[in-house]
Amino acid sequence: MTFYMLSVVRETAPIPANLAVVVKPNIDPGSELHRVLHCLKSRGHNVLIVELPPDEECLFSVDSLLKNSRFLGGGKPRAKKELTPEEMRQEEEDGSYDVSDLSNQKMLDFSERIKHVKGPRTVVFWDAIDCPFPLCFSPEQIFQKIKSVLMKKGTNDNITIWAYVDERSWRDKCLGNKTWDSRIYFLPAGDRRVRMLNDMFLQSRDAPLHHCPGLLILVSNHFSGDPFYMELFEDMQHKNYHPFLITPREHSNISESPDEWPLSLFNRPRKSSQGPLPKKPKLDAA
């Protein structure tokens, strides 16, 4: 559901979309739906939440919708005839979304638009549950070792890494607290297949490459043969990102010393988005 919401609002770009979402009362603030709605709001879209009343039928009339609706972040919608002339002018001014002050001097967790960087770039989405980092390295050493292998393979040195960790694990929770000690952004995995898919889409939307090549590397066991991954990756190619999938389980029988890590992951042929799409399964709940 969340992936298709992102896909739909992309069609209105660069004009902000008006998005109404019908949800159950008291939406879970930790859910992927809640996170994606806030991602859309931070990118200038107007998000209206329609909460179905628990003990009565919601009639889809203007009065009923107004009664059971609120804007994400607070505030009740009003009919246009109820707005004062001053509020009408303010509404028109708010329609223009200024991104000039957005900065990357903060946690890049996709809660805000990713700053567009000129030149070629390599982005890595790493499932640290499927493919844990060696315990003997610090986060900055992990970044440097991944960067070293990638540059030997001919990639550019503008590399960004997002690692998805299990916050219930003491080891991963410790890594998540060390984002500022390295150039790896450690994010809570949640339903990681859905979250990583959404984040890759937001990355391609926020920072498309028009006149220079880019590389997207996905390290995970959960995407091989998945139609949603294939659909997204096909779209990434249209933005000059060349996508590659690395499946850790295919490398599990390879013995590798800490000094050699992560060479074996990148030495085998990687799977790109080429090839026929498999049949689509049912949609994810998120």
Per-residue pLDDT of 8-64, as tens digits, reads 777 766 677 888 888 877 778 888 988 998 898 888 888 888 887 766 565 667 777
* Residue 111 CA to its chain's centroid (Å): 9
User: Which residues are within 8 A (CB) of 79 and not within 5 positions of it... i.e. 6 or more apart?
Assistant: 62, 66
Average pLDDT, the chain: 75
The pTM for the full model equals 0.76
Predicted confidence band at 278 (pLDDT cuts at 50, 70, 90)?
very low
Closest residue by Cα to residue 120 from 241, 257, 268: 241
| Position 187 pLDDT exceeds 50 | yes
At 224-267, the pLDDT tens digits run 877 877 777 777 777 778 888 898 888 776 677 888 899 888 88
CA angle 99–103–108, rounded 5-degree value: 110
Q: What is the Cα–Cα distance from 127 to 276, expressed in whole angstroms? A: 25
CA proximity to 99, closest of 87, 85, 114: 114
* Mean pLDDT score, 170-194: 71
